[in-house]
């Protein structure tokens, strides 16, 4: 805000405009004594009673009842929930793992070429993890155990890593699958899929729980399952040849690493089979209850991408 310099009135000055010398000339009226007398602004006035211009028209609106929303069920659609969709990967030879993410509060159409169309709410998507190489390095572990990191790469770029701890007997004690996109900051902000980092503190117990769930699902159609806490195995994982990271390793360490890699693949393969079976059982139950069992055959073909 600019300050009006005060100066005595010059001869001939128009008394109506008061002292000269403001930034804007005599267009601004001078106020009486007080705060506003020294400022180059007009004193506050009573707002006009009539609007200065005509009000703007209201924004255009659409009749929402006539435009179905993106997630609105259309007439004749069957409705299911939490069904996992699998699609062919364009690089099937390099498919090593598949992790899963659930899209909550969203829907998609499973089949649109045959009646009835199936609307799938809170659907689950399979996300491929490609790999054409795996490199090993040692990792710290509790006393009496060995730690290993298996880093998956595709065309020279990291895609995932698998961290395992094995006991003296060679049994898995802990396993984690960490996607290359994972970061603690993204997870804390809710920007990362829950499956970007999967940790199994007791791998055998996790397999036991998957088997038990499958048994219960056979007798209780109310039970559902989404594989967001598991990964499935693609055909490339078994073909990956283990190599040591830069710096090398002694022969004994490499022997332990290859044994741990074999144990890791067995665990992942067994978990993959159980997860796929439970996911397909959930899909069959949902589609059967919705009267759209014919779509189950279409969906089941998608699981053929797995090893």
Task: Tell me, yes or no, if the pTM score tops 0.75.
Answer: no
Q: How many residues does the chain have?
A: 307
Q: How far apart are CA 250 and CA 239, in angstroms?
A: 24
Tell me what pLDDT residue 17 has.
Answer: 44
Tell me what pLDDT residue 52 has.
Answer: 41
| Contacts of residue 191, Cβ cutoff 8 Å, sequence gap at least 6 | none
Q: Which of 141, 102, 148, 129 is nearest to 237 (CA)?
A: 129
Tell me what pLDDT residue 34 has.
Answer: 61
Tell me what pLDDT residue 74 has.
Answer: 67
Tell me what pLDDT residue 57 has.
Answer: 40
159, 153 in Cβ contact below 8 A?
A: yes
Give, as one character, the DSSP assignment of residue 114: S
Tell me which long-range contacts 246-251 makes (C-beta under 8 A, separation of at least 24): 247/137, 249/136, 249/138
Q: Quick one: average pLDDT of 109-120? A: 72
Residue 261, SS3 per DSSP: helix
187: pLDDT strictly greater than 90: no
| Contacts of residue 144, Cβ cutoff 8 Å, sequence gap at least 6 | 167, 168
CB atoms within 10 A of CB 181: 14
293, 287 in Cβ contact below 8 A?
A: yes
195, 231 in Cβ contact below 8 A?
A: yes
CA distances for 147 relative to 64, 204, 262, angstroms: 58, 17, 14
Q: Quick one: average pLDDT of 187-211? A: 92
Q: Quick one: average pLDDT of 129-146? A: 94
How do the domains of the chain map onto residue ranges?
Answer: 1-42, 79-265+281-305
| CA torsion through residues 183, 185, 188, 193, sign | negative
Residues 34-83: tens digit of each pLDDT: 655 555 555 555 554 544 444 434 433 333 333 334 556 667 788 899 99
Q: How far apart are CA 207 and CA 235, in angstroms?
A: 21
The mean pLDDT of the chain is 79
HEC profile for 120-131?
EECCEEEEEEEC
Q: Which of 266, 270, 257 is nearest to 230 (CA)?
A: 270
Tell me what pLDDT residue 87 has.
Answer: 62
128, 234 in Cβ contact below 8 A?
A: yes
């Amino acid at each position: 805000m600019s300050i009006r310099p005060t100066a005595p009135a010059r001869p001939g000055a128009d008394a109506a405009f008061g002292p000269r010398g403001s930034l804007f000339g005599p267009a601004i009226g001078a106020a009486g004594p007080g705060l506003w007398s020294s400022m180059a602004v007009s004193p506050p006035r009573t707002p006009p009673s009539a609007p200065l211009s005509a009000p703007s028209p209201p924004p255009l609106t659409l009749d929402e009842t006539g435009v179905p929303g993106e997630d609105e069920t259309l007439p004749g659609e069957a409705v299911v929930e939490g069904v996992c969709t699998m699609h062919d990967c364009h690089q099937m030879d390099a498919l090593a793992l598949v992790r899963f993410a659930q899209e909550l509060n969203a829907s998609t159409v499973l089949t649109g070429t045959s009646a009835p169309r199936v609307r799938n709410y809170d659907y689950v998507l399979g996300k491929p993890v490609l790999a054409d190489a795996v490199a090993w390095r040692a990792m710290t572990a509790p006393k009496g155990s060995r730690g290993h990191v298996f880093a998956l790469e595709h065309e020279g770029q990291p895609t995932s890593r698998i961290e395992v701890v094995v006991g003296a007997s060679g049994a898995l004690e802990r396993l984690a699958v960490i996607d290359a996109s994972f970061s603690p900051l993204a997870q804390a902000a809710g920007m990362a899929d829950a499956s970007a980092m999967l940790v199994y503190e007791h791998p055998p117990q996790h397999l036991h729980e998957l088997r038990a769930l499958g048994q219960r699902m056979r007798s209780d159609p109310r039970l559902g399952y989404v594989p967001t806490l598991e990964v499935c195995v693609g055909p490339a994982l078994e073909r990956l040849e283990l190599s040591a990271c830069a710096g090398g390793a002694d022969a004994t360490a490499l022997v332990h690493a290859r044994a741990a890699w074999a144990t890791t693949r067995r665990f992942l393969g067994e978990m993959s089979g159980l997860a796929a079976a439970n996911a397909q059982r959930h899909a069959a139950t949902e589609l059967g209850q919705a009267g759209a069992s014919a779509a189950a055959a279409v969906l089941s073909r998608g699981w053929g991408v797995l090893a």
